[in-house]
Structures are given as structure tokens and as C-alpha cells.
Amino acid sequence: MGTWGSRAPALALALLLACAHVALVAAQDTERIEGSAGDVLEDDPVGRLKVYVYELPTKYNKKMVAKDSRCLSHMFAAEIFMHRFLLSSAIRTLNPEEADWFYTPVYTTCDLTPWGHPLPFKSPRIMRSAIQFISKRWPYWNRTEGADHFFVVPHDFGACFHYQEEKAIERGVLPLLCRATLVQTFGQKDHVCLKEGSITIPPYAPPQKMKTHLVPPETPRSIFVYFRGLFYDTANDPEGGYYARGARASVWENFKNNPLFDISTDHPPTYYEDMQRAVFCLCPLGWAPWSPRLVEAVVFGCIPVIIADDIVLPFADAIPWEEIGVFVAEDDVPKLDTILTSIPMEVILRKQRLLANPSMKQAMLFPQPAQPGDAFHQILNGLARKLPHGKDVFLKPGQKVLNWTEGPRGDLKPW
């Protein structure tokens, strides 16, 4: 229970009335991101880099989707749509000799359990197999051992390929990817699963589906704090405390009866509409620090309340997360009510104006077809800023860095 006591109903009503008024004002106003972040967000990568797309056997990509179409709509689907985008992109080159970057289209999250979760023991084998294939058929991997290659790895913990942090840390980043640039949803400072130089991206959220649920921009934001999702994962964490490092459980235990908090495990058909009626949307960690809620909150103009210590957020050099969101330490969850009600109205108003900027929303999405400034282009911008490659990218004749037999024994099995 929160700290509101008998004053809660009156205070809740006053806050919601004030915030609803703020939303009505903000609906007519947007604000451009100032400084270098705004410039980076609006960069056009065309003409700044060329990417060669390897042609792999379809067992690594298209056949996997044909076998299980759930891959097209789950939160890991960025790897599929990035491939499709690159095939028709103006930055693609058919001449590998002029390429700045090489891309291997392998769908490591598309071999699913009956419940729709990627099989963690399969993913590293798929990746190893694909790398073995390109290293035998083209000379480009061998001349750099992947230092001018990038891979999209949207697993919970990136190229550590496991959904449980303890096991992901034990496994570590797949050794064969140690020189490559990883494009991944996972980001946490000083973590073994975030390799230096990685590009952190948003998870996939279906753009067309969200578009069909838009409400009029003048709709009042009559919900103060909104969240729908698990608070406990009894199936995978029966004793509690491990899932979300206890942060979600703390949200429920402290605020389940607080009138300012509209929180539940239910996932209503009006979920997207409800987010557009909320001032703050909770974005707590789950098994991993990230989730599609962050994308949904930005797209729907709901101020994201980020509860995930040391998280590295998508496109942090282009999106001013400190200005549009609220960061709450996991240990401070019991004080959420005080923290959020203490934010001045003018601060809330500015966050809403920034969130109303169309370029901010566009950068979080993978639309089909692609559009200027979207997440595809932000990834390319990130790759372009890494150019030109340093001299240490190219190996000397006969030089070897990677150990092909390194890693867990199970990962070395053929796929």
C-alpha cells in the first residue's frame, strides 16, 4: 500500500484533473529535440555507407518463418524486418569489394517452443553454423574475423543467447562474435552480455497494429500511472525475488490499492487506448531490462517510467531519454507515488511535448515499408558513425584471433 492514507481520493482527483488539462494543451504542441541529439535523430544514412548482404540458404531465415509465422509478430522480430529492409535499401551493394559492412541474415530467435519462446540452446548453434558457412564461401569474414560484420541479435540478453540472466552471464557472448558489431535490444552498463561498440535498438512492436488503435490527440489523460503485465513469474521463478529482481513484485505489493495506480495482470483489448489515456506508463525490467512497453509508451505519448538499474536505452545518442522519461531505481520502487507526484506540471508538459514529436516515435518503430528516420535508419546511422574502420580491423596474413572451439560444449554441436 502507498503512503496516501485518507487524502488519497482527493489528491488523486486533483492530480488527474490537472494532468488531463496538461494533455489537452500538449496535444496541440510538439517540441524539437535541441542540440546534437536532434541532428543525429534526423540524419540520413544514404550515401554514408554500403552494406553487402550475404545470400544464405533459406534454412537460416525464410524457411524458419514459413515454419512458424509467430516470428513475424513477437518482440524479437527486428532481425527479420532488418533483413527485408536491407534487401531493397539504397545502401545495399551487390559488390562486396566496395562494402563498408557485411550483414549475415540469420534468424536466431525464430526456432520457437510451443509457448512462443526462442530455444536458447538452438540459437548459438544456428549462429555458429551461419558463420561457418560464410567463412568457407567468401573471403571477407576471414580477412577481419568479423570486425567489419554486424549481426542483429534481439535475444533477451543479446548474443549470450539465454532468457535467464544467470545462465546468460555464465555463457557469455558467443566467442565467434567477439570482433563483430552486435545490434541488440539488450543493454546494461558493465554487463558481460553488452559488448563494447554494440548498437542498442528498440524491440519490435507491430507498427500497423498500434496505428489502428490511435485515439484523438485531444483525448484527456485521465489515468495517472498505468501498467499491465506480470508481477510474478511463478512458472520460472516459483520462490519469487529473481524475476525482475523483485521490482515488479514491489510495484504490486506497494500500489495495488493505490487509486493513482491502474495496474493489473489483465491485458484488456483497450490496452493501447489505455496507454494513450495515461500520464505515466511503467516500464520495469522483467527477465531482461528491456520490453516493448518502452516503444509503446513513446509511440503513445505516455511518459515512460524506467525501472531497470544501469539500463542502456535504444539510440541513446539520438533520443534524450533523461528528458522524456523518468528513471526510478529498483530499490526506490516503494517511493514511486512520492516520486511521480513530486514532478512539477511544467516538467510533465515538456516531456509530453517532446514525446509528441513525430521523429521521436518514428525512431522506435520498424515499419513496412521503411520510412525516413525510422529504427532501420537509426541502425544504419549508428553503423555509419563507426566508419572509417580502423587499421586493426584487417588481420595480417595468417593471423588468427578467434578460437572456433571456445564456448560451452552444447554450443559446438552441429545445427
**Per-residue pLDDT tens for 323-341?**
999 999 999 999 999 999 9
**Per-residue pLDDT tens for 155-172?**
999 999 998 899 999 999
How far apart are alpha carbons 338 and 360 in whole angstroms?
28
Whether 1 shows a pLDDT value over 50: the answer reads no
Q: Which residues pair with 284 in a beta bridge?
A: 307
Whether 16 shows a pLDDT value over 70: the answer reads no
**The predicted structure's pLDDT at residue 39:** 63
Mean pLDDT in residue range 37-54:
85
Place of cell 510533465: 348
**The predicted structure's pLDDT at residue 235:** 86
For residue 4, name the pLDDT band (cuts at 50, 70, 90): very low
Sheet of 223-228: strand order equals 261-264, 223-228, 278-284, 303-307, 326-327
Mean pLDDT in residue range 30-47:
73
**Other CB atoms within 10 Å distance of the CB of residue 6:** 7
Q: Which of 8-17, 237-246, 362-371 has the highest mean pLDDT?
A: 362-371
For residue 10, name the pLDDT band (cuts at 50, 70, 90): low
Domain ranges of the chain: 51-204+378-390, 207-365
* Cell (9 digits) for 406: 571456445
**Per-residue pLDDT tens for 201-243?**
999 999 999 999 999 989 999 999 999 999 999 888 887 778 9
The CA–CA distances, whole Å, from 414 to 69, 125, 410 equal 25, 6, 9
pTM over 0.85: yes
**The predicted structure's pLDDT at residue 12:** 56
Q: What is the CATH T-level fold of the domain 207-365, as seen in this structure?
A: Rossmann fold (3.40.50)
For residue 2, name the pLDDT band (cuts at 50, 70, 90): very low
Looking at every residue in the chain, the average pLDDT score rounds to 91
% of the chain beyond a pLDDT of 90: 81
**The predicted structure's pLDDT at residue 171:** 93
Q: Is 315 in contact with 200 (CB distance < 8 Å)?
A: yes
Mean pLDDT in residue range 92-116:
96
Mean pLDDT in residue range 363-386:
96
Whether 18 shows a pLDDT value over 80: the answer reads no
Whether 13 shows a pLDDT value over 80: the answer reads no
**The predicted structure's pLDDT at residue 62:** 97
Give the helix/strand (H/E) hosting 249. Answer: helix 247-255
